[in-house]
Structure 1
Amino acid sequence: MDVIYDTVLKIKDSVDVYISTGEPDICTIQFYHINTREKLSIRIAPEFGEVLAALDGVSPIAELMSSLGFVMDHGEFEEIIEYLLARGILEKPSFTDPDSRYSRQINFLSDWISGIPAHEAHKQIVASDVVVFGVGAIGSSIAIQLARAGVSRFILVDNKLLSLQSSERHPYFSTEAIGDFKVDALKRHLEKINCDINVTCIREKLLPHTELSRLVDRASVVVNTADEPYIGHTSIKLGRYLWGKKIPLYVAGGFDAHLMSTGDFYVPGESVCVDCCSGFFSAALVDWKPSYKIHKTNESKTHVVGGSGGTFSMSLFSASYAAIQILNYIAGGDAYKSRLSRRGEYIVGKGEIEWVSIKGRGDCSVCGK
């Protein structure tokens, strides 16, 4: 008896199956991946649909076929089963507790990450080290989403204090935390999500002379939302250093006037570098400079960055897009690659995302693009 017939299989929980029997000796079976919206159709003998329906993740295939009285050429049958396994339609039962903390995420990873078992992809998420510069509305939302996904080690870098104004957009805000360092308040929030999480708080501003090695050399990925003195300056400092270390940098969206930006993911050897990106947008924004306003009604406040505001939902859009890209990368996926060297922005008035492709300089000494 061939090995495949001794195998126990089941249809993935995330796959819907539709069978059309309009023809006498053949049927069309369509498989629909709920998680990724991918579709696959095959035309085959109607009896094969009965075999699929009988796959219960308990009984070997040979036993099920015998009970159904189904006979098919062994070579052809094995080819079909192996094809459906490779396309993620069938799977060997994993015996994951459906009530476990990450069961739904692992179910999703089984479709989203190809070539790696879902449990292994999840382990890679848990084992990741993430450094976040700037834990305002977007940086903190990214950290929270990654923590909920299982990331267990963070370094948070920010020198600001939580204020009443933070209540509008900071998802970890509480009145009891007003006056605390943002990194400390966020750490307490992350520890409520996962009591085993490891969070290091750095109560500093990212400055030109900041020594980065102590902060980022062990990172799986670095996130930058630090907009002071300016997001472009902090990103170039981080990007140049990290490129040489082959550590990805995600400059999260929502900065400046781009309230719902997808941000930029710099992956060494795969995307353009931060210098190319900066040069590309410098030409487009040559006449734009961040504006500063003096509080005439409150002299105790000196300067604040001017420009429009935003809502928490707008920040969450940028943070959620970034978190999805980062999770795909650290889990071993390749979906993130389709948006490298491209920046999108959701235009509220149009209800759509506008994309810009970022071109390399052609002679860049950093990335060679």
Structure 2
Amino acid sequence: MKTYGIKESLEIYVEGEEFIHFLFVHNQKQLIYDYDPGFLSLLKVMEEKRSLKEIIYEVKLVNPEITENDITNAIKLLLEDGIVFEVSGKLTQIDSYNRNQRQIDFFNEYDSSRGGEIIQKELSSKKAVIIGLGGIGSWVITTLAMAGINHFVILDGDIVEESNLTRQNLYTYNDIGRKKVDVVKHKIRMLNQEAQVDTFDIFCHQDTDIHSVVNGSDIVISCIDEPSVTETGKWVSRAAQDLKIPHIVSGGYLGHLGFIGPTIIPGETICWECIVESLESDYKDWKLIKSSRRVGSIGSLSSIVANLHAWEAIRVLTNISEPIMKNKRGEFDFIKLNIKLFDIERNKNCGICSHAQKLKKVR
């Protein structure tokens, strides 16, 4: 039995007895219907989630002249215009519904056909791997846990230091000297009691068995930059690419610039090797004469960059909208508060993703 309801973020106005105005608060879109008293009574009945049978009964109780066909056609029109959403009646009682209610309302704005509760349930069933629990990774896993993902795999061999406290949100003075994976596991369980957190207290190196860490996951987010994002991205991406797992390589930040993406979906987008080749081509005439010893950072920049990646991960996992960082890299200017996106083309001779793309086209 289907359950219907009007979107929580929608405002409805009646203009005399001429028009009914629907204002979508999230994007300020407005739809205008001709005034009809029977239609208005339908809207009032649907302020609360009800089954089709209940809606028909209550509308006809006040307006006996309205037929069942009139009501179902009106609901169909409201669904098409994104005013009403529908979900399975069983899902209105999913675990943690009250906890995620505002987020479910948010998802309703993106996909009325599936409905926010179904999208939330899909998200909660996903398994995310976070590699690196520093200035980016600690924020990413926090946001994804708040979003309701219930299974995480985390990898980091570091301990909490006092210098971490200015930009890594999950740590306090009481945690100094403790293993980051242990602290994060405890804090995430406090945020989301349903979350399962598997830990790997190891550093990520070239010879680390990343395949066993990421195997069976739905997304992998690399948040490490030592010895360099280029190198760590290769280690993580090769494993995720082999296992056909979507993955995001976070570039972190450098001074006032935050680096965003890319998002890599094996068989659909370019691979990390193509991206590295593009970056190396851009700087082929540059010669390093002094390397940076330490880069400044601040918590607000870390959180912004990390949450852009977390939002991208949610889009990948739920398909509520196209991930924006596919085949792109981005720069967030913290001073000017703007984002620049740069397209990256596939290397036609790439032995990894060009072959995968050909296989996809054949299918």
The two structures have a TM-score, normalised by structure 2, of: 0.83
What is the aligned partner in structure 2 of residue 297 from structure 1?
none
1:274-353 alignment, distance < 5 Å:
274-286=272-284, 287=286, 292=291, 305-307=293-295, 309-330=296-317, 332-353=318-339
Query: Does the 8 A contact of 1:154 with 1:200 survive in 2?
Result: yes
C-alpha distance in 2 between matches for 1:353 and 1:366: 29
Query: Does the 8 A contact of 2:301 with 2:334 survive in 1?
Result: no
What is the aligned partner in structure 2 of residue 63 from structure 1?
58
Name the aligned partner's letter for residue 168 of structure 1: T
What's the C-alpha RMSD, in Å, of the aligned pairs?
3.0
Distance 1:78 1:206, change over 3 A: same
C-alpha distance in 1 between matches for 2:259 and 2:65: 55
Residue 143 of structure 1: how far off its partner (Å): 0.7
1:85 aligns with one of 63, 79, 102: 79
C-alpha distance in 2 between matches for 1:140 and 1:290: 33
What is the aligned partner in structure 1 of residue 21 from structure 2?
29
Structure 1 vs Structure 2: percent identity of aligned residues? 23
Any idea what SS the aligned residue of 1:208 has? coil
1:174 aligns with one of 172, 179, 182: 172
Query: Does the 8 A contact of 1:265 with 1:341 survive in 2?
Result: yes
What is the aligned partner in structure 2 of residue 302 from structure 1?
none
Structure 2: unaligned runs, 5 residues or longer: 358-363
Query: Does the 8 A contact of 2:130 with 2:222 survive in 1?
Result: yes
What is the aligned partner in structure 2 of residue 296 from structure 1?
none
Distance 1:253 1:39, change over 3 A: farther
- 1:109 counterpart = 2:107: yes
Any idea what SS the aligned residue of 1:150 has? coil
- 1:51 counterpart = 2:33: no
Name the aligned partner's letter for residue 39 of structure 1: K
Which deviates more from structure 2 when the two are superposed, residues 64-73 or residues 218-227?
Answer: 64-73
Query: Does the 8 A contact of 1:160 with 1:181 survive in 2?
Result: yes
Structure 1: unaligned runs, 5 residues or longer: 1-5, 294-304
Query: Does the 8 A contact of 2:79 with 2:112 survive in 1?
Result: no
1:1-369 alignment, distance < 5 Å:
9-20=4-15, 27=19, 29-32=21-24, 34-35=25-26, 37=27, 39=29, 41-47=31-37, 48-57=39-48, 58=50, 59-61=54-56, 63-68=58-63, 71=66, 74=69, 78-92=72-86, 95=92, 100-113=98-111, 115-256=113-254, 259-286=257-284, 287=286, 292=291, 305-307=293-295, 309-330=296-317, 332-368=318-354
C-alpha distance in 2 between matches for 1:7 and 1:214: 42
Any idea what SS the aligned residue of 2:258 has? coil
Query: Does the 8 A contact of 1:96 with 1:103 survive in 2?
Result: no
How many aligned positions are there?
A: 345
Which deviates more from structure 2 when the two are superposed, residues 112-121 or residues 169-178?
Answer: 112-121
